[in-house]
Chains A and B, each alone.
Chain A
Amino acid sequence: DAGVTQSPTHLIKTRGQQVTLRCSPKSGHDTVSWYQQALGQGPQFIFQYYEEEERQRGNFPDRFSGHQFPNYSSELNVNALLLGDSALYLCASRTGLDTQYFGPGTRLTVL
């Protein structure tokens, strides 16, 4: 049984560019959340998707947007990248009120 998978593993972009990160949830999970983890800090909640809709959002600007597909996979899009967007982006999945399981993350570097 595959766990949460994310792609790509690493990504390098320049300021002002746009990026799309992808996540496939654990089998049987229908809810996907995205977190940003800056170096040396705990993960910060970005938003959560369920039934293809954004259900909750953390304190992140509108440059951060997402999407969930009918197969429950999800994308995170970040526009107009800033140096401060450099971080590890984590995807977590769950079903119901069950435990969240995290993927390995995508390391984004903005130059």
Chain B
Amino acid sequence: GENVEQHPSTLSVQEGDSAVIKCTYSDSASNYFPWYKQELGKGPQLIIDIRSNVGEKKDQRIAVTLNKTAKHFSLHITETQPEDSAVYFCAASKRADKLIFGTGTRLQVFP
């Protein structure tokens, strides 16, 4: 069935360093890949998304890359700040609905 694997499950970095989270999806028909940030006690907040006709997308300190052949996509956060600390989820979808989520990565940024 449809599945999204996400690694690592926890990630600790020093403020100012970069953080990379990787996901692999199983359904080759998937064409939409959003990333969500979830803070404690809150719902997931969309931070960036990419569609299968694009290989890379950047928004300030956040970038996402997609390798359709390998069915991999990654989130890159540069110049991390303490407020980046949260749980990050990747997801995949054949359309912009029925999102299949990864298991999450807890990112801790130490000052």
A99-B34 in contact given A41-B103, A45-B98, A45-B100 (Cβ < 8 Å): yes
> What is the number of contacts between chain A and chain B, taking CB atoms within 8 Å?
59
The total of chain B residues at the interface (CB under 8 A) is: 22
CB-CB < 8 A to A92: which residues of B? 99
Q: Which of A57-111 contact B (CB under 8 A)?
A: 58, 90, 92, 94, 96-105
> How far apart are the CA atoms of A111 and B36 in the complex, in Å?
30
Q: Is the CB of B43 within 8 A of A105?
A: yes
A33-B97 in contact given A43-B44, A101-B46, A102-B43 (Cβ < 8 Å): yes
> How far apart are the CA atoms of A104 and B42 in the complex, in Å?
5
Task: Determine the interface band of chain A, counting residues with CB < 8 A from chain B.
Answer: 20 to 34
Candidates A41, A48, A102; contact of B36 at CB < 8 Å: A102
**CB of A99, distance to nearest CB on chain B (Å):** 6
**CB of B15, distance to nearest CB on chain A (Å):** 26
Q: Is the CB of B99 within 8 A of A100?
A: yes
> How far apart are the CA atoms of A22 and B4 in the complex, in Å?
29
Please, could you name 30 A-B residue pairs with CB atoms under 8 Å apart, sorted by A?
A33-B97, A33-B98, A42-B89, A42-B91, A42-B101, A43-B44, A43-B89, A44-B101, A45-B98, A45-B99, A45-B100, A56-B97, A90-B43, A90-B44, A92-B99, A94-B96, A96-B96, A97-B95, A97-B96, A97-B97, A98-B96, A99-B34, A99-B49, A100-B97, A101-B46, A102-B36, A102-B46, A103-B43, A104-B42, A105-B43
